[in-house]
Amino acid sequence: SEQLFVEMADVMATEGWRDAGYEFVCIDDCWMAPTRDKQGRLRADPKRFPSGIRKLADYVHSKGLKLGIYGDVGNKTCAGFPGSYNHYDLDAQTFASWGVDLLKFDGCNSGSLELLAEGYRRMSVALNRTGRSIVYSCEWPFYLRPVQQPNYTEIKQYCNHWRNFFDVYDSWSSIKSILDWTALHQDSIVKIAGPGGWNDPDMVSIFVFLSQLVIGNFGLSWDQAVTQMAMWAIMAAPLFMSNDLRHISPEAKWLLQNKEVIAINQDALGKQGYRITKDKNFELWERPLSGQAYAVAVLNQQEIGGPQNFTFSLSFLGNGLACNPACSVQQVLPASRDWGVYSWVSSLSVEVNPTGTVLLKI
């Protein structure tokens, strides 16, 4: 209901979320009335959004935040509400007139891959035509992948970020499957990411929309929550939370608002990280950052037992350039700690808990 989004906007403005960089309050599927109005326009469910979306957007904007909304490229949304097929211009104009700042555009019920692609292109053009700055979040490659390899160059021309894989769930198996899929396909997806267009692995404990973070819910251990936050930062993922900010633990809040991690995630260079090696249960990932720095994640995929050590040479990072001739090492997660200065030929030994990650900045 609109009251839920009002309360979330209040918490985001007063509990440090906005100041940490979280700026969108996003509505997902099921916000609509079951039918369009007499002029063919989308309308909000009158019982759950009695004041309408325009008033909600005004309230969200008054808190220094932005409003996101949901639509679908096909005849119906995934939950069976009116889709935007044959209404792309009208719906874009409607969203702009309401003051919407982000559109998550799903791909259910599109009929064919040709219609799907045409719909995503047409809505992009329609959004730009409104003259309002609206972030465009697509599910285009996810719906293409079972049949054909997505053309990411084309997708980036039209979309600001795009989903590649299944919805994230509040479970370690879901987080692990997303990381495994990303590593498997990194040769095709990492190179396209950058300012203006991002791969979206879905929410981080931020379980409401897009690149969702599920931290702050119930299905992840502390080490697994650290892993999700660290790896979403390495992957340059949009950070969207799908959780109840009114009832979040201090630990989850600290993790989600961690300014060092968010700085890595939002690094101006905009390059996505990638896995550089896998050794039994350990994975080593790196992400080039501005200022010739690197973010490095050491992930322990083992699910039983105690902490284990992983040792690697610093000459392995950044094609040998990250630490040449020397570098400082700062641990960011699971806690902030200065490791000092190392030479190019040094090795690091990192102790990592099962299903945990140690995030470093080199």
Q: Name which residue leads in pLDDT, 264 or 169.
A: 264
Q: Are residues 331 and 229 in the same domain?
A: no
Query: Where residue 220 sits, what CATH number does that domain have?
Result: 3.20.20.70
Domain final position from 224, 245, 266: 266
Q: What is the pLDDT of residue 213?
A: 58
Instruction: Count structural domains, the chain.
Output: 2
Most confident option among 34-48, 144-158, 203-217: 34-48
Q: Which of 333, 271, 246 is nearest to 297 (CA)?
A: 333
Q: Are residues 307 and 250 in the same domain?
A: no
Q: Are residues 169 and 242 in the same domain?
A: yes
* Burial state string for 28-53 with b = 16 or more CB within 10 A and e = fewer than 16: bbebbbeebeeeeebbbeeeebeeeb
Taking 70 as the threshold, does the pLDDT of residue 211 lie above it? Answer: no
Q: Please tell me the distance from the alpha carbon of residue 271 to that of residue 282, in angstroms, as a whole number.
A: 23
Q: Are residues 304 and 155 in the same domain?
A: no
Backbone angles phi, psi at 134, to 5 degrees: -130, 120
Give the three-class secondary structure for 26.
strand
Domain final position from 211, 236, 266: 266
Rounded to two decimals, the pTM is: 0.93
Q: Is 319 exposed, middle or buried (0-12, 13-18, 19+ CB in 10 A)?
A: exposed
Q: Are residues 257 and 298 in the same domain?
A: no
pLDDT band with cut points at 50, 70 and 90 for residue 160: very high
Q: What is the pLDDT of residue 181?
A: 92
Query: Where residue 356 sits, what CATH number does that domain have?
Result: 2.60.40.1180
How large is the average pLDDT for residues 150-177?
90
pLDDT band with cut points at 50, 70 and 90 for residue 145: confident
Q: Are residues 76 and 181 in the same domain?
A: yes
Q: Are residues 225 and 318 in the same domain?
A: no
Q: Are residues 216 and 356 in the same domain?
A: no
Q: What is the pLDDT of residue 2?
A: 96
Answer yes or no: are the C-beta atoms of 62 and 54 closer than 8 Å.
Answer: no
Q: What is the pLDDT of residue 229?
A: 96
Q: Which amino acid is at 241?
A: M
Q: What is the pLDDT of residue 165?
A: 80
Q: Please tell me the distance from the alpha carbon of residue 200 to that of residue 187, in angstroms, as a whole number.
A: 16
Q: Are residues 194 and 159 in the same domain?
A: yes
Q: Are residues 170 and 227 in the same domain?
A: yes
Q: Which of 73, 152, 86, 76 is nearest to 113 (CA)?
A: 73
Dump pLDDT digits (tens) for 231-287: 999 999 999 998 899 999 999 999 999 999 999 999 999 999 999 999 999 999 999
Q: Are residues 218 and 302 in the same domain?
A: no
Q: What is the pLDDT of residue 214?
A: 59
Dump pLDDT digits (tens) for 44-64: 999 999 999 999 999 999 999
226 is in which domain, residue-wise? Answer: 2-266
Q: What is the pLDDT of residue 220?
A: 87
Taking 80 as the threshold, does the pLDDT of residue 208 lie above it? Answer: no
Q: Are residues 127 and 177 in the same domain?
A: yes
Look at 23-32, 164-173, 276-285, 329-338 and tell me which has the smallest mean pLDDT.
164-173
Domain final position from 216, 235, 266: 266
% of the chain at pLDDT higher than 90 = 89
Active-site residues: which are they? 106, 167
What is the pLDDT of the chain when averaged over all its residues? 94
Answer yes or no: are the C-beta atoms of 135 and 99 closer than 8 Å.
Answer: no
Taking 70 as the threshold, does the pLDDT of residue 205 lie above it? Answer: no
Dump pLDDT digits (tens) for 249-263: 999 999 999 999 999
H or E element that contains 116: helix 113-129
Taking 70 as the threshold, does the pLDDT of residue 206 lie above it? Answer: no
Look at 155-164, 209-218, 285-294, 336-345 and tell me which has the smallest mean pLDDT.
209-218
Answer yes or no: are the C-beta atoms of 116 and 73 closer than 8 Å.
Answer: yes
